[in-house]
Amino acid sequence: MVLLQLEISMEINEQIAAYAYEKGVPVMLNSAPSAPLSDTFLSHLTFISPNEHEVEDLTGIKIHRRGGEINQEDVKKAAGKLLDKGVKNVLITLGSGGAALCNRSGCYYAPCVRGITAVDPTAAGDSFVGAFCTGFCCGLDWEELLTFANHVAAITVTGMGALPSLPELEQVEQLLKKEEIVFPELAVLKKQNLKPETAGIEEV
């Protein structure tokens, strides 16, 4: 799997996405910071992961809230615009509203993790996307992916700084267990000398 982000040259992103698409390698774009994206680039993406502000920049559709609840119709409309451009899956982070994953099969939602005292939001988005990609390579289903990524991000915001706040797998498992969430064991992450083919990653 290839993970791209918009702090590097758009030309490089587009070339990598096109090559990976040609080779059948999944591509995730963490679409931060906001920037215009060509239809060709979008059509090469397996996943795009904007937050609610970035998805508004990309689609012109604002995701409203009522009583703190996300308007799911806004989510579907915004995701639909990107799906129409050829993106296969749209992963939208919604802050206190949790996260949503939309594709042609429908939309899947996961609430944010409750009871967390946020200290520093640095790297929350990056840890969410990284965890999602990791879970995808481990074969988790959509709901499991959202749950796993939400819990990784929740732990991340409880610490200061970017790298120092990223959790170990055991911390995530402990939080899931504490919330009595039944979750598959991510045994593939615990193997030593992990080879690309064992994690669903293709070398390019």
User: If you average pLDDT over residues 43-60, what whole number do you get?
Assistant: 97
Domain ranges of the chain: 1-112, 113-199
Q: Measure Cα distances from 82 to 61, 112, 132 in Å.
A: 11, 24, 19
The band of 187, judged by pLDDT with boundaries at 50, 70 and 90, is low
pLDDT at residue 194 greater than cutoff 60: no
Query: Tell me, what DSSP letter sits at residue 202?
Result: -
Angle at 143 between CA 42 and CA 187, to 5 degrees: 100
Among 24-28, 123-127, 150-154, 173-177, which range has the highest average pLDDT? 24-28
Quick one: three-class SS letters along 163-198?
A: HHHCCCHHHHHHHHHHCCCCCCCCHHHHCCCCCHHH
Q: Quote the pTM value.
A: 0.86
| 114-149 pLDDT, tens digit each | 888 888 888 888 999 999 999 999 889 999 999 999
Residues 171 and 155 sit within 8 Å (Cβ to Cβ): yes
Question: Annotated active-site positions, please?
Answer: 126
- CB atoms under 10 Å from CB of 182, counted, come to 6
Question: What is residue 10's three-state secondary structure?
Answer: helix
Query: Residue 186: which pLDDT band, with cuts at 50, 70 and 90?
Result: low
**Residues in CB range of 60: below 8 A, 6 or more apart:** 81
Across residues 92-112, what is the average pLDDT?
93
Q: List residues bridging with 5 in a β-sheet.
A: 30
User: 33: cis peptide before it, omega within 30°?
Assistant: yes
- Which residues contact residue 103 at a Cβ distance below 8 angstroms, ignoring those fewer than 6 apart? 83, 88, 89, 90
| Check whether domain 1-112 has CATH 3.40.1190.20, yes or no | yes
Burial label for 92, CB within 10 Å (0-12, 13-18, 19+), is buried
Largest Cα span, the chain? 48
Q: What angle (nearest 5°) sits at the alpha carbon of residue 92, between those of residues 177 and 60? A: 160
